[in-house]
Structure 1
Amino acid sequence: MLYLVRMDVTPPRDMDPEEFARIKAREKDYALALQRDGRWRHIWRVVGEYSNYSIFDVAGNDELHRILQDLPLFPYMRIAVTPLATHPSDLAAQ
C-alpha cells in the first residue's frame, strides 16, 4: 500500500544541540535503510519548514505505524498519514 506522510519536526527549545545532532544522525541512517529496501520510496523537504512529505510503500497500516514509531525523531513529530489509491486517469493505470 502507498501512503503520503507529512512529518513536522518540533524539537524542544532547550534540547542539547549535540544530543539533537546524534538523534538526527540516527534518523538519517534509519531513513536511508528504509529507502534502500524500497519501503520509503520518496522524500521531499517542505521549503522554509522543518517538515517533509514522503511516500511509503508498505504492507499496511500496522507496518507503517511501526516504521514511523521507530523514527528517532518520532517523539518530536506531528505526523499526518494519507492512504493512496490508483487514480483512473493515471497513465500507468491504463
Structure 2
Amino acid sequence: MLYHVFMDVKIPRDLPAEERADILAREKAYSQDLQRQGTWRHIWRVAGQYANVSILDVRDNAELHQILSALPLFPFMQITVTPLLRHPSAIRGDDS
C-alpha cells in the first residue's frame, strides 16, 4: 500500500551539536536502508523548508507507524499521512 507522507522537522536550536550530528547520521542511514529495500520509494525536499514529501510502500497502517516512529528524528517531526490509491486514468503500471 502506498502512502504520501509529509514530514516537517523542528529540531530544537538548543540541542547539543554532537547529539544533533548523531541523530542526523542515524536518520540518513535508516532512511537510505529503507530506500534500498524499496519501502521508501521516493523522497523530495520541500524548497525553503526543513521538510520532505515521501512515498512509502508498506503492508499496512501498522507497518507504516512502526517505520515512522523508529525514525531518529521522529520526536522532532510533525507528520501528515495520506493513503494513496491507483487512479483509474493512470497510464503507467509500474507505480502501483
Per the normalisation by structure 2, the TM-score is 0.94
Shift >4 Å, 4+ stretches = none
Q: Percent identity?
A: 61
Q: Give the number of equivalent residue pairs.
A: 93
SS of the counterpart of 2:49?
coil
In structure 1, the gaps of 5 or more residues are none
Could you tell me the TM-score, scaled by structure 1's length?
Answer: 0.96
How many Å apart are 1:12 and its aligned residue? 1.1
Q: Which amino acid counterpart does residue 7 of structure 1 have in structure 2?
A: M
Alignment RMSD (CA, Å): 0.8
* Deviation sequence 1:39-65 (CA, Å, 0-9, x none): 000000000100000000000100000
Q: Which residue in 1 is equivalent to 2:15?
A: 15
1:13 Cα deviation from its structure 2 partner = 1.7
Instruction: Report matched runs for 1:31-70 at 5 Å.
Output: 31-70=31-70
Q: What secondary structure sits across from 1:91 in the alignment?
A: coil
